[in-house]
Amino acid sequence: MEDGTLTGIISERDLIRHTRIEDGIEVSDFSNGTDDDEWTWESIRDMHTISYGISKIQLLPIPVKNAMIRNVLAVPLNAEISECALKMKRARVDQLPVVNGNKRLIAMLFDRELIKVLLPERQGLR
C-alpha cells in the first residue's frame, strides 16, 4: 500500500510463478534380511537398491512489488454479494479486496464466505 491505498495483490499462483523446481534422484540401499547382524549372509544376499525421484520447490528471492498484480480487481464496501460472486467467477479468483471510497483496503472477501451466505443455516451446524 502506498499512502494507505491498495496498489497490488499477490496470490498462490503468483508465488508459484516465482519458484524454482529442482528435480533429482535419490538412491537408498536396504536389506530384507531378518538377522540383526548386517554382515550375515542373509543380510548381504538380500541387499536392494532403490532409486526414486524427488522435487524440491524453492521460492526465488524476488521483492513482492515485482511479483504482485498491480491491476487489482476490487469491490466497494457497498457492493452486492451477487455482484461480488459474478466478478469472482468471471475473473477466476477466489478472493476480492473490499475497498472504501479512498481505495483503502477494508477487508478481503473469500469465496467460502459467499457460500456461507448462500447456504441456509441449520441447527447445530456452523
Q: Tell me the pLDDT tens digit for each residue of 33-51.
A: 555 655 555 556 667 788 9
pTM over 0.75: no
Q: Which domain holds residue 80?
A: 1-11+69-126
**Pair (4, 29) in one structural domain:** no
Q: How many residues does the chain have?
A: 126
Residues 77 and 24 placed together within one structural domain of the fold: no
Q: Is residue 25 part of a domain?
A: yes
Q: Say whether both 74 and 45 belong to one domain.
A: no
Same domain, yes or no, for 47 and 75?
A: no
> Do residues 62 and 10 make contact, with C-beta atoms less than 8 angstroms apart?
no
32 and 54 together in one domain: yes
- In sequence order, the β-bridge partners of residue 23 are 55
Backbone angles phi, psi at 125, to 5 degrees: -110, 145
Please give the pLDDT value at position 23.
92
Same structural domain for residues 44 and 88? no
Q: Does 64 fall in a domain?
A: no
CATH number of residue 97's parent domain: 3.10.580.10
Q: What is the pLDDT of residues 55-96, one digit of tens each?
A: 998 988 999 889 888 888 999 999 998 899 999 999 999 999
